[in-house]
Amino acid sequence: MTDMTDAEVNAVDFAVVAYRDEGVWSVAELPGRALDDVESISSELRRYPGENGALALISVDEDFVLLVRAQGTLVRVLLSDATAATDWALARSAVVHLGVHVGVDDDQAPAGDLGIVADMGFTAAEMGALLDDYDLYPEEVLSEIARGVGFGEKFDEILDLAD
C-alpha cells in the first residue's frame, strides 16, 4: 500500500486495462482498489487473459500518464513525467519500481520503458515523440497509444472520446 490520500485517489481521471484474447482487443475500467501503486496495478493486470499480457493506461489529474504492462512475472512501467513523483504517490511508486531518483529541481521527462508496447506496433521512438508533445492532454496521449497498438476505437468508446 502507498500513502495515497483520498484527494489523490479522486484525482485519477481514468484507469483502464487493455488486453487481447484470441486476437480480439478488450478494454475495461480498472477498479479503484487496484490503483494504490505499481505492485497492486500489476497484480490486478495478471487477472486478465491477454496473449501479450495486459496493459493499464492511467491518467492522473490531467497531469501525467502511467502505463503498466504485466506479462506473467515481468512488469514494465512508463511514467510520462518523472517529476510527478515529487507530488503524487502513484508516480512515486513508479519511480521506486524503476529505481529512478527524482529531485525537485529535475526537468520534466519520462521515466521507464519507452518500448513498453513496441512489440504491439507502437515504437519507442513514436512513444518518445508523443511524450515530448507537452500540448497534448493525457487522454489524447493515451488515445494515440491505443490507436497505434490497435484498440483505439474501444479505448475512445470507454472514455466517451469518440468524435
Instruction: Judge whether 38 and 94 are in contact, CB under 8 Å.
Output: yes
**Assigned domain for 67 exists:** yes
Residues 6+ apart with CB under 8 A from 49: 19, 21
**Assigned domain for 1 exists:** no
Domains held by the chain: number:
1
Sign, Cα dihedral of 50, 59, 142, 118: negative
Residues 6+ apart with CB under 8 A from 15: 29, 30, 32, 34, 35, 56, 57, 58, 59
**Assigned domain for 129 exists:** yes
**Assigned domain for 113 exists:** yes
Q: Which residue segment(s) compose the domain that 77 sits in?
A: 6-156
What confidence score (pLDDT) does residue 1 get?
A: 45
Assess whether pLDDT exceeds 70 at residue 25: yes
Q: Which helix (H) or strand (E) holds 38?
A: helix 38-45
**Assigned domain for 162 exists:** no
**Assigned domain for 161 exists:** no
pLDDT above 90 coverage of the chain, percent? 75
**Assigned domain for 15 exists:** yes
Averaged pLDDT score across all residues of the chain: 91
Sign, Cα dihedral of 36, 41, 43, 45: positive
Average pLDDT over residues 47-73: 93
**Cα gap 9→61, rounded to integer Å:** 10
Average pLDDT over residues 93-106: 91
What confidence score (pLDDT) does residue 105 get?
A: 84
